[in-house]
A and B are shown apart, each in its own frame.
Chain A
């Protein structure tokens, strides 16, 4: 069991399954707010749903309207359970706080694996070592 310290952007205690990408993620126009599916063309997560997953990605990219998209995902019941970033930027930081999605950053995301179970408890990220 590994336990690493993160920086808290929006605090929360949750446990769930990872949806992992090492590519920056486009939020506005990149995730469908109705379904939660990643729709960005050519993105490795294309076609997968962020709903209920611990969404792990290095950082967001694109329009700051993405903050409102996170809020829409939450209202539609298809928001990620939590967000783990390498380095959080304003789209996700403000969006996660508005939508109350637990969010941490300053974590080396490389050891995390898709579908792995992860627990986030305030500034602790806890997962099984591979």
Chain B
């Protein structure tokens, strides 16, 4: 059955490469074929879905829009379900949040070009929360490092670390090369991470991820020592997103918590699967990035609290709103999420009374990809290891990585106590 499918895949790809499905599809097929050649793929596999990153107008430019439109004119249309990563702004509340009109217009044209190819305008980094959730063993072609890490590790689907263009090409052809993490042998862990310290909160999982990303690079790991009860989907999302930001981790297993781990735990323990051991006896709390001259322990003003990286689930957002209910806030709070999640959330009765005017439910975008400099914020507290990792490179922002509860405190007081150790 499997070899049969492969023959069909080769034949289908040959036809697309020959231009039988039009010039637009042909270009996509050439991209898939080139990658298959580079990585020595064992033929092609049909994909269940694609997740496409690289949506921002700033990144693809007029040239990108023209290319996408030329593909459409050349007959290209998605053959597999394809969802889109966050774009540069909230498509409905952009004016209220302070984004520029020209930026909105350019971004909207870029989105139209993707829409023309049949790609869903989800604009989220958590497609698995809004209906694009592949199952165990499903082949997919996902870009967006946090999403593909979640798909591989937590859902047990199979994807390589795709870039935006290769995920797009896979969506158009319906195929990807059968190499890398699509193959059983490449999903076996080569590193055993043993954690002996408590890892409990959302922030702990993010900090552990930032630490491990640097140690793991691209390696597949199995993590032991975490309490399975602590490994909620939200915390695993933090772990994976942070590992994929500070390293290039596309797949990790957690003993007792992720679907493929059971196949490896015994064999790693017995040595049948040889692994490099990485022991974690303490989690390094990351250092704050603060304005020059602010000493450790001094209060730092916070004007924005950012949560929702990766995009928040409805449950997470409800918890946050509940915690903020009735409190007067000194900083803005952005809770970023997929538009579909926001729609569900605002239908919920609990939402209305919990809402404070400083709390912004931000959809379609996130703090990492939007032009944050244009919005007038200078100091951010976030509970996301990934958001911290990218924001700390912005020379105009002070950044603190805190647990959710401490972030909400900062929203109330407008202050975070500086934890700068001069290492950032």
Contacts and interface: CB of A to CB of B under 8 A. Distances in A.
B349 interface: no
Contact of B163 (A64, A75, A88, A97): A64
Contact of B61 (A64, A72, A91, A93): A72
Where chain B touches its partner, the secondary structure class is: helix
Nearest to A94: B165
A98 B34 contact: no
B34 A94 contact: yes
Contacts of B54: 64-65, 67-68
Given A88-B38, A97-B27, A98-B27, A68 B66 contact: no
A74 interface: yes
A95 interface: yes
A97 B172 CA distance: 15
A91 B66 CA distance: 19
B351 interface: no
Given A7-B37, A94-B35, A74 B165 contact: no
B63 interface: yes
Contacts of B164: 64-65, 67-68
Given A64-B54, A65-B59, A68-B54, A93 B64 contact: no
Interface in A45-77: 64-65, 67-68, 71-72, 74-76
B165 A95 contact: yes
A97 B30 contact: yes
Given A64-B54, A65-B54, A94 B163 contact: yes
A89 interface: yes
A5 B165 CA distance: 28
B84 interface: no
Contacts of B37: 7, 9
A75 B165 contact: no
Contact of A94 (B59, B61, B169): B169
Contacts of B27: 97-98
Interface string B78-118: 00000000000000000000000000000000000000000
Contacts of B67: 71, 98
Contacts of B178: none
Sorting the interface of chain A by its residue count into under 10, 10 to 19, 20 to 34 or 35 or more gives: 20 to 34
A9 B64 contact: no
Contacts of A98: 27, 31, 67, 165
B80 to A, nearest CB: 17
Interface in B126-153: 143
B64 A90 contact: no
B207 interface: no
Nearest to B62: A75
Contacts of A91: 163
A30 interface: no
Contacts of B61: 33, 68, 71-72, 75
Contacts of A64: 53-54, 143, 162-166
B60 interface: yes
Contact of B63 (A7, A75, A93, A97): A75
Given A90-B165, A97-B31, 4 more contacts: A28-B59, A33-B63, A68-B164, A94-B169
